[in-house]
Amino acid sequence: MIDFANFSGLQAAVAVAASWVTWYTWKFFLSPLVYRDEPKELPYVIPFVGHTLSMVTGAHRMFLNGRKRFGNEPWAVTIMGQSLYVIPSADDVQAIYRAPKTLDFDPFIKEMLSKYGITADTANKMFDTLPGHTKNWMETSIDNFKLQMHPGDKLEYVQRRLLGFIDKSLLWERLRGRMVHKDGDAERIVSLYTWSEMVIVDAQTRAFFDEVLFEKCPELLAQFQIYEDESWKLPMDLPSFATKDLRSSKSAIEKGLRQYLRIPQEQRPNDSWIIKTLCEDMVNLGLDETQKVHVLFSFYRVMNANAYKLVFWIMSYLLFDPELKQEIVAEIQPAFSKGKYSAPDLDYIFNSCPLLVSTCEEVLRLTNWPIGTRTVQTDTVIGGKKLRQGRQLLMPYRAMHFDFNVFGADATTFNPRRFMQKSLLTNKSYRPFGGAAHYCPGRYIARREVQMFTAVMLMRFDMSILDAKRQTPHFPKMDNTLPSGGIQVPLKGEDLMVRVRPWM
């Protein structure tokens, strides 16, 4: 007898398989032939869903695979039901920069602001142009950040304070606290990651804010480290039970910022120009205290999110390459002609140490994961392909940083002399700080502080990698699961423990 139940099940399975084959054939073979003017799509197996979150954690590989399949043509990808365009070509990125209204960055900024607690009403105030004005509040703020951070008197003032604080922090007697895992008079075991973070974040905070902020938030640095460790959850809209530490650390920092804002400006004489201006502009915009705190927190987080991570990776590369380290020590030696513990000749470090500069730039290229995004406001053509209104597009700068045609056959490896070829610094495929109107204004001071930090650290401390349990140390593994928009962190447990002694 015929088993009708099994036969019906087989029929259903065949029907589902046939439907899937029909869908896949149309989606990835026939549709591109019919719609030749639209970007081809990276194939996926789950209809309508596309690439799942587990696939996204291999985002860098996905972008590289897309580039291998489609070359420099714009292509499309569906991630968890959302269709996105990917623009891999440096020339097409330039075209996007020239169309700021058609390909708009503002929706992304508004979405990120909402993650910090900034309401839609506040965001609307920031982006609405008032009668009689040519620019909205956000555009004016970007101009103000450029005034503070681009070369000029305002940058010189902040930079002098910042580098001075770093100089004072990198002393043997200041090597204390959470960074030290084993103390001693002649030798200490130190977390390189925490050391980099504590020195850089502390110096940047003191350079931009009055030091009274530390009185209002004594645990500022510790709470910021917790927030940074948990910040990968920020864009994911996870339930509250999964973001407890993220929210509590943010709340602790914002409590201190709230008390800070309540102090009259005349009692905060060391505020930088941008902090004073930002506070005045928030008053003029009519923001309530809570929204002011959220805005100030967003600035504080962005300001401190990357430099210390870059320092960690630079020092890791140098510690695993003793010959390179010695070459750089010899190169920077003249900057310390007055002694290892004297203030270094910064002009010499920045302008007469090509190997140091090239090494820092190469580490930036390898460890940075900047990614540009825009929203297509009207149908437009980029790279010969039609992009449809309402979709988002991504510019994976990190994939551009591994372009063999630009960076050579060894583009995936560490070459400390790569950027001695000066033209690479200005190559349109090298975008560590983004570009166009949203080109990171902090790029000038960021480059200088990591170069200065590296030079001072090398001159003042004898550092070596700690042999954990007599095993051969391995280079820290980078967390490449998700794009961070900046410098990637090491994987959990991949911090580098270093044995530190003072140079006599």
Contact call for residues 311 and 450 (beta carbons, < 8 A): yes
Contact call for residues 437 and 142 (beta carbons, < 8 A): yes
Grade residue 13 by pLDDT with cuts at 50, 70 and 90: confident
Sorted by sequence, the CB contacts under 8 Å of residue 14 that are 6+ apart come out as none
Pull the structure tokens for residue 249.
Answer: 């650390």
d(CA 391, CA 373): 11
Q: Examine the pLDDT at 469 and tell me if it is beyond 50.
A: yes
**Residue 400: is it exposed, middle or buried by C-beta count within 10 angstroms (0-12/13-18/19+)?**
buried
Q: Examine the pLDDT at 47 and tell me if it is beyond 90.
A: no
d(CA 36, CA 470): 60
- Could you tell me the domains of the chain? 87-502 (1.10.630.10)
Grade residue 55 by pLDDT with cuts at 50, 70 and 90: very low
CA Rg, the chain, in Å? 25
Q: Which residue has the tokens 């009259």?
A: 264
d(CA 416, CA 313): 13
Q: Examine the pLDDT at 53 and tell me if it is beyond 70.
A: no
pTM: 0.91
Pull the structure tokens for residue 243.
Answer: 């973001």
Q: In what order do the strands lie in the sheet with 82-86?
A: 40-41, 75-79, 82-86, 392-396, 371-376, 103-104
pLDDT, tens digit, 9 for 90 and up, residues 307-352? 999 999 999 999 999 999 999 999 999 999 998 888 899 999 999 9
**Quick one: which of 502, 428, 402, 418 has its CA closest to 461?**
502
| Predicted local distance difference test score (pLDDT) of residue 401 | 92
Largest CA distance in the chain: 99
Q: What's the mean pLDDT in 51-59? A: 58
Q: What's the mean pLDDT in 394-413? A: 91
440 has binding-site annotation:
yes
Grade residue 51 by pLDDT with cuts at 50, 70 and 90: confident
d(CA 224, CA 304): 9
Which runs of E-coded beta strand occur in 177-262?
Answer: 180-182, 188-191
| Predicted local distance difference test score (pLDDT) of residue 483 | 65
pLDDT, tens digit, 9 for 90 and up, residues 101-119? 899 888 888 888 999 999 9
**Quick one: which of 181, 177, 183, 239 has its CA closest to 202?**
177
Contact call for residues 291 and 121 (beta carbons, < 8 A): no
Q: pLDDT over 70 for what percent of the chain?
A: 95
| Predicted local distance difference test score (pLDDT) of residue 5 | 53
Grade residue 96 by pLDDT with cuts at 50, 70 and 90: very high
Which runs of E-coded beta strand occur in 304-351?
Answer: none
Grade residue 437 by pLDDT with cuts at 50, 70 and 90: confident
In this structure, the number of other CB atoms found within 10 A of the CB of residue 286 comes to 9
Q: Examine the pLDDT at 17 and tell me if it is beyond 50.
A: yes
**Quick one: which of 235, 246, 241 has its CA closest to 56?**
235
Q: Examine the pLDDT at 1 and tell me if it is beyond 60.
A: no
Q: Examine the pLDDT at 471 and tell me if it is beyond 70.
A: no
Residue type, 120: A
Pull the structure tokens for residue 32.
Answer: 């591109």
pLDDT, tens digit, 9 for 90 and up, residues 259-303? 999 999 999 999 999 999 999 999 999 999 999 999 999 999 999
Q: Examine the pLDDT at 58 and tell me if it is beyond 70.
A: no
Q: What's the mean pLDDT in 444-453? A: 95
Q: Examine the pLDDT at 387 and tell me if it is beyond 80.
A: yes
Kindly write down the DSSP assignment for every residue of 432-479, as one continuous string: TT--GGG--TTHHHHHHHHHHHHHHHHHHEEEEE--GGGPPP-PPPB-
Contact call for residues 207 and 162 (beta carbons, < 8 A): yes
Q: Examine the pLDDT at 3 and tell me if it is beyond 70.
A: no
